[in-house]
Amino acid sequence: MTKFLKLFFILNIFISCSSSGSDDDKGSGPVDSQEIIPSNLSLSFDIVGSDSNNPNGDGSGTVKFTALATNAVSYSFRFGTGRSKTSTGSAEFTYTEVGTKTYNIKVLAYSSTNNYVSIDKTITVYVKPESEQTLLELLAGSSSKTWKINSAQDAHFSNGTQDKRYSTYWEAYAFSKLNKGFYDDEYTFNINGTYSHKTNETIFGKGHHLNDDFGSTSQSPNGDGDIENYPLSNYQTTFSAKKEDNLNKVEFGDKGFVGFYVGEHSYTIECYDSENIYLRTVDDQDIAWYVWLTTNTVSSISPKDQFSSLVWSDEFDYTGAIDSDKWVHEVGDSWYNNEVQSYTSRLDNSKVEDGKLKIIAKKESYNGNNYTSARIISNTKKDFTYGRVDIKAKIPGKKGAWPALWLLGSNFKTVTWPACGEIDILEAAQSNNFKVQSTVHHPDNYGGGDSHISNDYSDITEVFHVYSLVWTKQALTFYVDDKPHHIVGNSCALPFNWNQFIILNVAMGGTMGGEIASDFDSDIMEIEYVRIYQ
């Protein structure tokens, strides 16, 4: 294949009063017998980088022109942009208007007596947008990359307030938008700045934006105002990617977009690696919309089953003190949240027996407090990022007890709470009627945190349940007995993308435990196993 696809246009110019002239008469009036009139004017041009795949060029915008006429000594090239150049027969011009544009070209051939003939043609040239090279290569690789919505992950599609860089309103569960016209879309970014959207003939988006921008359809929007399978053919346009205002921005030409259509064509990349990107756009109602894309084959396995390798566990199949190769006691007499217990490492407060870890809260005077308990952690023994955590436990239920199964950022000593991040798989107390409550805490939402209380379980103080966290770069999803009840979208703006460790404890009183029953003597949290899968 040749580097240049040469487009050659030849026009025989017949000498007449209307097609030739001089600088004085501009082609009107009789021709003086001493005047020399050029003839046989032809024009050819090469669009740099043009080939069968890129007929309008490689995006540089450079075009090489050649003109030839009998009896011509100079040529004036008019490039269709208001600019011109005079030469003896060749000229090079670089177009700068981004996109695929058509220009009207005019060339005048002059003789030694300043008479001329002219030729007009049109030319279509592609100019790629300027992009920051690192972002361009992220999106397109060395040539091109194709992305799809990562529908196998929770929070692959979500929205939130425009002043945050993560979802706050709503997150979609994995595969929950099947048959909605966008899971089969393919988004291809090319290194030359072109973009292809393979729609497979249908897309998903807000009905009024789809109808306004792409034409009305007979389909009616659903109750949310969305058209789930709006008809739209595959299309091509351009894109640019730049770092501006400390944001990684992607701009699409024409009506280009990604994911769920909300009438916008400008996005920011909030998170990325070579195989995953988290895109954000804000609609005209100041609602932020997010979508996770991947270059990998999208899994058909649900998130809870994607982590299948058991990498760490304690089955509590021994007797006596906790395994010091897996756990560390945190001891002390003063704690946050107005708690009133002393944590000890005594067997009176924590021990393994009957195949279970038992954390025992007791009423007793100890180091100035009236209650004792235990708090054991995996910090320095097992710190990890992403995976599935399963904890099978039965929760104490006496008034004043505050049991918790949770994770804390391993950098808590250097960045402190809540910047280190906290993930509460389960906490319960009289204040929430000993219901299942799961929460995350971070700098934007620490007090009450992002919490959810499930009313599906009223027996957690009586029977064992498996409490689980599935933690990915896309989401934190909380389960009871393999049933999800709460999802929190993850983001690079949140502190949930570095190591955390497990904490098991029973606090007394405090902001959640509340008033302690006057007849409280002791209560026990029993844990049958703790398992981490990655």
From the list 300, 245, 261, 295, the residue with the least C-alpha distance to 182 is 261
Structure tokens at 307: 């982590």
What strands lie across the sheet with 62-70, from one edge to the other? 6-10, 39-47, 62-70, 90-94
Residue 76 sits in the same domain as residue 211: no
Burial of 251 (0-12, 13-18, 19+ CB in 10 A): middle
Do 478 and 354 lie in a common domain?
yes
Question: The whole model's pTM is what?
Answer: 0.80
Structure tokens at 488: 């929190």
Each residue's pLDDT, cut to its tens digit, for the chain (534 residues) gives 333 333 333 333 333 323 455 544 334 334 556 899 999 999 999 999 999 888 999 889 999 999 999 999 999 999 999 999 999 999 999 999 888 899 999 999 999 999 999 999 999 999 887 789 999 999 999 999 999 999 999 999 999 999 999 999 999 999 999 999 999 999 999 999 999 999 999 999 999 999 999 999 999 999 999 999 999 999 999 999 999 999 999 999 999 999 999 999 999 999 999 999 999 999 999 999 999 999 999 999 999 999 999 999 999 999 999 999 999 999 999 999 999 999 999 999 999 999 999 999 999 999 999 999 999 999 999 999 999 999 999 999 999 999 999 999 999 999 999 999 999 999 999 999 999 999 999 999 998 899 999 999 999 999 999 999 999 999 999 999 999 999 999 999 999 999 999 999 999 999 999 999 999 999 999 999 999 999
Question: Residue 214 has what DSSP assignment?
Answer: H
14 and 77 share a domain? yes
Residue numbers of the domain that contains 242: 133-294
Task: Count the helix, strand and coil residues of the chain and give each as a percent rounded to the nearest 5.
Answer: 5, 50, 45
CATH assignment at residue 332: 2.60.120.200
276/375 same-domain check:
no
User: What whole-number distance in Å separates Cα of residue 174 and Cα of residue 172?
Assistant: 6
Q: Do the Cβ atoms of 393 and 386 come closer than 8 Å?
A: no
Q: Are residues 390 and 320 in the same domain?
A: yes
- Asked, for residue 299, whether it belongs to a domain, the answer is no
- Tell me which of 251, 267, 294 is where a domain ends: 294
Residues identified as active-site = 422, 427
Count: domains in the chain: 3
What one-letter code names the amino acid at 415?
Answer: V
Query: What does the alpha-carbon distance between residue 314 and residue 362 come to, in Å, rounded to a whole number?
Result: 25
Find the length of the chain: 534
What is the per-residue pLDDT for 15? 31
Would you say 264 and 249 are in contact if contact means Cβ atoms under 8 Å apart?
Answer: no
Nearest CA to 302 among 101, 487, 98? 487
Residue 312 lies in a domain: yes
In a domain, 276, yes or no: yes
The CA radius of gyration of the chain, in Å to the nearest whole number, is 35
